[in-house]
Structure 1
């Protein structure tokens, strides 16, 4: 998969652990001027107009059914909170460090995948990055989201599915999407493999 750059400024040190969980690499858009592949229609506002998105890492030693709430890791650092602010079509993510004074470090947009099961795509872009990235999530009945590792989609999906989704071998080897239909097809194929959760996202006021 295409690697993404790590944040380097002092203002973003507080989100280093978070970046490991929310969309470090995984499925990537074409690396040039960032192109927002997600259609504006159908985007949701699952976390309210503002709040703190709390990301809790799963206990990876406990196997659960696909889409079920995971057992959570007990050892720190096992939780990080992200301040969010809705802008009308996406969330702005601000640095949790009070000294940063609301500095925006990225964006988050959420949209359902076609079909049943509560499957969604979380699309993120971090300040200074050249491409959006996409993560599979499952919305639970209480409004929280189970999210999955974002560096396994092209490793887990069957080869025949990958060949159908990525006609160009270079895109297939890099796990790089060019169209929204590819995002939906790849994450749906990944979900069909029954991956284990990477963590749980909940919101607090």
Structure 2
């Protein structure tokens, strides 16, 4: 312990992780408030501006740390930090776009039928197809479905899952198992995204007396 902050084996403080979480929570709350009122063109303009300016700023501030982490992962190459930050900009601005259409369609209301889901789904899938091309590994899912078998997907924690998962779900039934959040805004945003992306979702409180209850719902 050091001034109330814990450190990992490498001597780095958990303060950075805590700060990141607080910033992301603040971004999400702001996004939920303003996204329904943003024209698509404004989100596109923000994306274009941030892809240049925030990416350059991020390379200057975070570049050394990102390169260190890429080297540790054996994935360092010229331009890796810049491309990572560019993808992060796409991730967050695409999140704004999805929230805009999901919240405008009332998809964050747990008590209401998601009648606006088809309209929002069209927007999300159109965006996803502009961002992502699914490769031949999709045949694994199709083969499993043909044999009436299920598949557990355990992907890496990477950018573009906001658009990638809806694109996969357009080809194969997909249920997302999400960590339950105590924060209401976080839960609303997750539900809205899943409904807009055509995803079934499991995000329930854990039950200490029955730890297998949530996984059992996936059976």
Q: Greater share of helix residues, 1 or 2?
A: 2
Q: TM-score range by the shorter chain?
A: under 0.3
Please identify the structure whose Cα radius of gyration is greater: 2
* Higher relative contact order, chain-length normalized (CA < 8 Å, sep 6+): 1
Structure 1 length-normalised TM: 0.24
Q: Greater share of strand residues, 1 or 2?
A: 1
Structure 2 length-normalised TM: 0.23
